[in-house]
């Protein structure tokens, strides 16, 4: 029996760790990540800049050598058989570029040939993918003639040429405008519907929320949580978060903590943040408290339960791009 049959998960990481060395010293980029992604799953690795997303994906795709820990992709160990892993995966790196000497279709066909496909098979597969990504009319174009969204689609198509079991996408929509991003989401959903396992990194919470079956939240090289978006919301951040920023004060916010439906109140200089299951009335009460304290409210935000409030609950920090 092959090792693949024994190891049914698409991705297994066990204590994965990467410490970069060199000036200015040691950087613990990934500090012991455990995760498992099932076949057919759409999995999101979500975290802010510098969280360790690309380093994690780099280790899973054999481009970065782990300092410690193990990982298997399709049952194949990334350290002992990197070539075997590469055959089974498609990778779209954060700064992936097309070969500028080649046309769109040549970029795809050459990738197929590289993976041992015959000329006709590569041409046929390239045609199918260009059709799927609505690039049929651009197939003779050179990369510099493409829009950002088009070239991203070509790069993803190229990564799919050899029918990889697992597709890795490192921030595929980072530089795209909102409409183009949503179009790409539809295409990625279409791939998953055909059975493609996908691991995507993003710092867009909305993206993870909209696409992913499960999400791992990573910050400072550590996984803070890993679950379905729904369960994450139910556990860590089922609350709405009301934040009021003010000048003057201070506000007598103690009474809010005892209010029914309020989970937690955090108060810092010039800012009060209320985590509430039932946020109705909280805002009005905060404004009234500011008024009695003679303070001026300068900003109000009300986040409904989402991955953003989960992140806030997990890290205590607001999630900004």
Chain residues binding ligand ATP by CB under 6 A are: 20, 27, 29, 47, 49-55, 94, 203
x-marked contacts with Mg ion along 135-174 as a string, rule CB under 5 A = ----------------------------------------
- By C-beta, is 53 or 138 nearer to Mg ion? 53
- Distance between alpha carbon 30 and the CA centroid of its chain, in Å? 15
CA–CA distance, 108 with 126 (Å, rounded to integer): 6
How many angstroms from the chain centroid is the CA of residue 222? 14
Report the residue number, 138 or 181, with the smaller CB distance to ligand ATP: 181
Q: How far apart are CA 106 and CA 158, in angstroms?
A: 10
Say which entry of Mg ion, ligand ATP, none residue 20 contacts (CB below 5 to 8 A, set by partner kind): ligand ATP
- Of 153 and 203, nearer to ligand ATP (C-beta) is 203
**E-strand stretches of the chain:** 11-20, 27-37, 42-46, 68-73, 76-77, 89-92, 166-170, 197-202, 214-219, 222-228, 240-247, 262-268, 271-276, 296-303
Residue 58 C-beta: closest distance to Mg ion, Å: 9
Sole window of 21-29, 68-76, 88-96, 236-244 interacting with Mg ion (rule: CB under 5 A)? 88-96
Among positions 37, 47, 54, 166, the unique one binding Mg ion when judged by CB under 5 A: 54
Q: Which is nearer to ligand ATP, 120 or 320 (CB)?
A: 320
- State whether residue 143 is helix, strand or coil: helix
Would you give the distance in Å from CA 20 to the centre of its chain? 22
Q: Report the residue number, 18 or 273, with the smaller CB distance to Mg ion.
A: 18
Positions touching Mg ion (CB under 5 A) are 53-54, 94
């Amino acid at each position: 029996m092959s090792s693949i049959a024994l190891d049914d998960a698409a991705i297994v990481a066990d204590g994965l760790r990467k410490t970069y060395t060199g000036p200015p010293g040691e950087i613990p980029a990934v500090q012991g990540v455990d995760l498992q992604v099932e076949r057919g799953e759409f999995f999101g690795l979500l975290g802010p800049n510098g969280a360790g997303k690309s380093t994690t994906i780099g280790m899973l795709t054999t481009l970065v050598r782990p300092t410690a820990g193990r990982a298997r992709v399709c049952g194949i160990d990334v350290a002992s058989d990197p070539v075997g892993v590469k055959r089974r995966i498609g990778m779209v790196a954060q700064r992936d570029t097309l070969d500028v000497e080649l046309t769109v279709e040549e970029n795809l066909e050459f990738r197929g040939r590289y993976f041992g496909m015959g000329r006709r098979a590569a041409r046929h597969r390239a045609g199918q993918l260009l059709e799927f990504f609505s690039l049929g009319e651009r197939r003779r174009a050179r990369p510099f003639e493409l829009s950002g969204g088009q070239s991203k689609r070509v790069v993803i198509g190229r990564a799919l040429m050899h029918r990889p079991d697992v597709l890795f996408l490192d921030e595929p929509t980072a530089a795209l405008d909102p409409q183009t991003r949503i179009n790409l989401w539809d295409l990625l959903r279409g791939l998953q519907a055909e059975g493609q396992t996908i691991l995507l990194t993003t710092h867009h919470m909305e993206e993870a929320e909209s696409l992913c079956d499960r999400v791992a939240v990573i910050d400072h090289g550590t996984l803070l949580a890993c679950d379905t978006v729904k369960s994450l919301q139910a556990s860590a951040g089922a609350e709405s978060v009301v934040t009021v920023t003010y000048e003057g004060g201070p506000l007598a916010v103690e009474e809010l903590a005892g209010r029914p439906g309020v989970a937690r109140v955090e108060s810092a200089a010039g800012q009060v943040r209320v985590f509430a299951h039932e946020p109705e009335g909280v805002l009005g009460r905060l404004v009234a408290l500011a008024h009695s304290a003679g303070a001026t409210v300068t900003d109000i935000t009300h986040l409904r339960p989402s991955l953003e409030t989960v992140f806030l609950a997990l890290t205590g920090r607001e999630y900004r791009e």
